[in-house]
Structure 1
């Protein structure tokens, strides 16, 4: 485009030089030829436009947006058209409370009020892409700064509007997935009507007020202590049951001994024991009683 404009100016200068009555007029035709060549070269180079991979181009002629989209590759266009590129790859817009971590410098986390009136701080990432076919509409109605005009305000508004339906603790724990799904539906609907496609929504972190966090930690510690005590009581009950079974076994054994052994059986067992002692090489003298007492054994040790 620049060469075309420059060539036209040179041609005009050539005509002006040709009208002179001095020797300079002889160079007018040369100037006009140079200008025409620059116009031709500029036109040829401006007719071919390469659109990079992952992008689309939107043509504008004297401020009027053309609805035809240029896709990646080599395209032949009107030489005087201006092409505005749009990135159609997945883009990430992060709003974080950590400095230099989000898309905007500084603390950019969202501070919202929950249903119980507590302030909750939320870090969020929005993954989206520009619909290629909607690029002309975006350029016409929004412009190229759709991050600041569409993505950021819609995401922040959707979070604030949905957070008021949940208590702070529910947002942090049991209702987190449900909260994220509601935000996704709200943002997706708003994006679709503006030529953007929402691909994913990630709640990266939810920070509760210090007092609420301390209360939750205290509750968790109490639950852990209760679980520990339950374990100790269960162990004690098992130990008591073990001792009861052991005592019952001893009692049963003693009962069997007191009722199941007769005098003759005891005498027979004593005879067997004495026989083993008598045959032992360490035994020297055995003094037997009358059968009722215990024998006296005299040995070398």
Structure 2
């Protein structure tokens, strides 16, 4: 009996294998070529290695890196490093494997090449190096989603990023000269604005001084001058120092004697 039990155990070990599904990945069992609808998210999976296997796929964000030459509206080629960020939707992984297989990244790459050619051909080369780049990236992403959905549902595109864009040498130099000219024009405009503001300030200051002099001259009546003179005489009379005062009775002229 014990011997029979050992034989059965050995047969069970030979006819069953174990797969471990770790966090961040899923497992899908394939039996006789048919994928199970059940998606295993974590733990161990027993299967018969003679008729079945367990395919593991990551559910984390993945990055496909490409270096491509993209066409522009004027027929130029723009070299760029591309990053395609995507992840698999957990519950739809069996559908992706059934329709695209495990080489689905090559499908994503092919779809990108087609979508980027269609979209970039509508924009000028300089647009890929300016604030229009975000718009181009978004349009490529939308175009890719449309094409991927037709082939298999379950691939979620997170972003399409165009990096390290290299324009043709002649165009790059032309854009640099244009940007430099724009900066020079902005600098000159700033200088002119500052000069205008300074001129306006001086005009306002001159008007203020003129108005002050006008108000002062209009306010200096004979009566006011006489009052001011009396106040000046009063202040001089309180001084302990020897002074010589020459006056016509209206305004004093003070002469301090040389004490040396």
Q: What TM-score comes out, normalization by structure 2 length? A: 0.79
- Number of aligned positions between the proteins: 252
Tell whether the 8 Å contact from 1:124 to 1:202 is kept in structure 2 after alignment.
Answer: yes
Question: Which residue of the other structure, out of 179, 186, 192, is the alignment partner of 2:136?
Answer: 179
Structure 1 residue 201 and structure 2 residue 170: aligned? no
Distance across 2 between alignment mates of 1:291 and 1:254: 26
Structure 1 residue 115 and structure 2 residue 115: aligned? no
2:147 corresponding residue in structure 1 = 190
Question: Which residue of the other structure, out of 50, 66, 89, is the alignment partner of 2:19?
Answer: 50
1:248 corresponding residue in structure 2 = 207
Change (3 A) 1:79 1:168: closer
1:229-248 superposed matches below 5 A: 229-248=188-207
Higher Cα radius of gyration: 1
Distance across 1 between alignment mates of 2:45 and 2:76: 56
| 1:116 to partner: Cα distance | 1.1
Structure 1 residue 86 and structure 2 residue 56: aligned? yes
Q: Which has the higher contact order (CA 8 A, sep 6+)?
A: 2
* SS class of match (2:87): strand
1:29-68 superposed matches below 5 A: 40-44=9-13, 46-47=15-16, 49-53=18-22, 54-61=25-32, 64-68=33-37
1:27 corresponding residue in structure 2 = none
Tell whether the 8 Å contact from 1:128 to 1:200 is kept in structure 2 after alignment.
Answer: yes
1:1-301 superposed matches below 5 A: 40-44=9-13, 46-47=15-16, 49-53=18-22, 54-61=25-32, 64-69=33-38, 71=40, 72-78=42-48, 80-95=50-65, 108-132=66-90, 135-136=93-94, 138-139=96-97, 142-148=100-106, 150-192=107-149, 193-205=151-163, 206-284=165-243, 286-291=244-249, 294-295=252-253, 297-299=255-257, 301=259
| 1:137 to partner: Cα distance | 5.2
Change (3 A) 1:251 1:139: closer
Deviations 1:80-128 (CA, angstroms, capped at 9, x unpaired): 3230413141342332xxxxxxxxxxxx411011111111122222222
* SS class of match (1:200): strand
Q: Which runs of 5+ in 2 are unaligned?
A: none
Q: What TM-score comes out, normalization by structure 1 length? A: 0.70
| 1:200 to partner: Cα distance | 0.9
RMSD over equivalenced CA pairs, Å: 3.1
